[in-house]
Amino acid sequence: MEPALNPYSPGSGLQPGFLAGRQAEIDAFDLLLVRTERSFSNRGMVLSGLRGVGKTVLLNRLRGLALHHDWLTIKIEGQPGEAGAAEARKTLARELQVASRRYIGRVGLEKFRQLLGTVTSFTAGFGVEGISLGVERDPARAGTGLIEIDLRDLIEDVSAAMRSIRKGFIIFIDEMQDLDEDLLSALVTCQHHAGQLELPFYIVGAGLPNLPARLAEVRSYAERLFDFRLIGTLAEADARESFTVPAKQVGAEYGSKALDILVDVTGRYPYFIQEFGSAMWEVAQASPFTEEDAQAAATIGLQRLDSGFFPSRWDRATPREREYLATMALDGDQGSSTGEIAQRLSAKATSLAPTRGQLIAKGLIYSSEYGKVAFTVPGMADFIKRQHHEI
Nearer to ligand ADP, 195 or 311 (CB): 311
**116 near ligand ADP (CB under 6 A):** no
Nearer to ligand ADP, 18 or 226 (CB): 18
Q: Which residue is nearest to Mg ion (CB)?
A: 56
Using only C-alpha atoms, the chain has a radius of gyration, in whole angstroms, of: 23
Q: Report yes or no: 162 and 169 within 8 Å, Cβ to Cβ.
A: yes
| CA dist list (Å): 258 to 276, 293, 379 | 12, 7, 22
Residue 134 C-beta: closest distance to ligand ADP, Å: 37
Q: Report yes or no: 282 and 1 within 8 Å, Cβ to Cβ.
A: yes
**357 near ligand ADP (CB under 6 A):** no
**242 near ligand ADP (CB under 6 A):** yes
**93 near ligand ADP (CB under 6 A):** no
Strands 201-207 and 169-174: parallel
- Residues 23-62, one symbol each (x = binds ligand ADP by CB under 6 A, - = not), give --------------------------x-xxxxxxx-----
Which chain residues interact with Mg ion by CB under 5 A? 56
- DSSP letter for each residue of 278-336: HHHHHH-SSSSB-HHHHHHHHHHHHHHIIIIIHHHHHTTS-HHHHHHHHHHHTTGGG-E
CB atoms within 10 A of CB 61: 16
Q: What, of ligand ADP, Mg ion, none, does residue 273 touch, CB below 5 to 8 Å by kind?
A: ligand ADP
| Closest to 323 in 3D by CA, of 351, 295, 284 | 351
**14 near ligand ADP (CB under 6 A):** yes
Residue 253 C-beta: closest distance to ligand ADP, Å: 18
Q: Which stretch binds ligand ADP (CB under 6 A): 61-69, 107-115, 157-165, 267-275?
A: 267-275
Handedness of CA 115, 120, 125, 126 (dihedral sign): positive
**Residues 275, 304, 51: CA angle, nearest 5 degrees:** 55
Strands 44-48 and 226-230: parallel
Residue 277 C-beta: closest distance to ligand ADP, Å: 9
Strand partners, 227: 45
Q: What, of ligand ADP, Mg ion, none, does residue 143 touch, CB below 5 to 8 Å by kind?
A: none
Number of residues located near ligand ADP, criterion CB under 6 A: 24
Q: Residues 269 to 288: which contact ligand ADP by CB under 6 A?
A: 270-271, 273-274
Nearer to ligand ADP, 167 or 240 (CB): 240
| Closest to 1 in 3D by CA, of 271, 298, 278, 292 | 278
Cis preceding-peptide flag for 288 (omega within 30 of 0): yes
Nearer to ligand ADP, 21 or 125 (CB): 21
Nearer to ligand ADP, 55 or 141 (CB): 55
Nearer to Mg ion, 56 or 121 (CB): 56
| Closest to 156 in 3D by CA, of 126, 111, 118, 120 | 118
Nearer to Mg ion, 64 or 145 (CB): 64
Q: What, of Mg ion, ligand ADP, none, does residue 211 touch, CB below 5 to 8 Å by kind?
A: none
Query: Which residues sit at the interface with ligand ADP, rule CB under 6 A?
Result: 9-14, 16, 19-22, 49, 51-57, 242, 270-271, 273-274
